[in-house]
Chains A and B, each alone.
Chain A
Amino acid sequence: MSQLQELTCTLGEINFEGHTFNCLPIKGSQQVLQVLVSELDEMPIYMTITDTQMLCITYLCHKQEVRDDKRAELNNAMLEMNVAMPLSSFAIVEDYYVVFGALATTSSTHDICKELVTLAANAYDALEAIEEFLN
């Protein structure tokens, strides 16, 4: 069983700080797991495991959704916010603005749950914060 499959089973049983996790594997050559954190399920998290790390990504918005005249300001704001944001960072992947967290492949279930809940909450906050930059 792959690490993501194991994780799907584990997360399904857990109640972490009042949150539960709803997991759905995404089809494709790359193993990807969609995780919905209860109460924060508007921002799905996509997990993928590489040789060296577990990546947890939420997609905030497409570049095209950002006002042209505000893009530079948004990029700057994100860089400045990056360090303060607990456990997560901003990034751009394939023209999507994302919030993501990276974990060691050896991380404990507790660490993974903490990461997922924190990331989902961060994504909610980030979405509200970028509203003024959107078209």
Chain B
Amino acid sequence: MSSVFDKLWTALRGGVREIGDAVVDANGIRIFEQEIKDAQANIATAKKSLTEVMARKMQAARKVDELAQSIRQNEGYAEKALEQNNETLALDVAGKIAQMENDRNEQLAIVTRLEGQIEQLKTHIKNAEKLIADHERELALVRTTESVQKATEQVVENVAANNSALNSARDSLERIKKRQEMKQDRMAAGDILAAELSDGGLDAKLEAAGIKGTKADASAILARIKANKAG
């Protein structure tokens, strides 16, 4: 991981690279892709070998079981021969058992050896799979960087072609602010209009102007009562 990251880091650091230059040379990418392909081929071969080796191990293990069974059987025969005091026959059987035990030990050795090979192949496959995953992530890193660069170049070109400079931040801010002001003005205007159009607003204005009063006025009432009394 670090190698590609280092390369990108170096390539992207200020001034080293002209716009449009590839971050990691095409040759580097091809090497990566080749390594991934090799690792994949490796895994395929290793998996094929693994099945073969496992089959051979099963075969050998089966032989071990069979021999063990035969040995037990022949030990029974030897015991019976001894019961009949037939030492010669027992010795013959013992000879056969010795042969079978040698065979069994041989097969056991084969099983152990094959088990070692299986472990090795499994480790090999695991390593190759890890290598592929690492390389694929590294490639994604490079490819993404390049896609983003290319996309940016296209956006810059395209926007320039449409005569609308790729957002000067100041201009964008100005436009956003103007729009916000306009929105606020519109809302304020809406409020004023709503107030003007409603009767409540008119009443409030008439009241404020002293033209239309709805509030009871104590002095006016007192004056009215006095006038009634006098009359």
Residues of A within 8 A of B (CB): 26-30, 32, 34, 42-43, 46, 48, 50-53, 55, 57, 59-62, 65, 93-96, 124, 127-128, 130-131, 134-135
Which B173-223 residues have a C-beta within 8 angstroms of A? 173, 175-176, 179
Residues in chain B near residue A124, CB distance under 8 A: 176
Query: Is B31 located at the chain interface by the 8 A CB criterion?
Result: no
Interface of B: prevailing SS: helix
Which of A27, A28, A59 makes the CB contact (< 8 A) with B150?
A28
Q: Can you name 25 A-B pairs with beta carbons within 8 Å?
A: A28-B157, A29-B150, A30-B150, A30-B154, A32-B155, A42-B175, A48-B147, A51-B140, A52-B144, A55-B144, A57-B151, A59-B152, A59-B155, A59-B167, A60-B167, A61-B167, A62-B168, A93-B152, A94-B153, A95-B19, A96-B166, A127-B169, A127-B172, A130-B169, A131-B169
Residues in chain B near residue A93, CB distance under 8 A: 148-149, 152
CA distance A94 to B23 in the complex (A): 11
A94-B149 contact, Cβ under 8 Å, with A127-B176, A131-B173: yes
B14, chain A: closest CB distance, angstroms? 9
CA distance A48 to B176 in the complex (A): 26
Which of B148, B150, B168, B179 makes the CB contact (< 8 A) with A57?
B148
A107, chain B: closest CB distance, angstroms? 16
CA distance A69 to B126 in the complex (A): 52
CA distance A124 to B172 in the complex (A): 9
- Are B179 and A51 in contact, CB atoms less than 8 angstroms apart? no
A2, chain B: closest CB distance, angstroms? 14
- Are B168 and A46 in contact, CB atoms less than 8 angstroms apart? no
A31, chain B: closest CB distance, angstroms? 8
B9, chain A: closest CB distance, angstroms? 13
CA distance A93 to B8 in the complex (A): 13
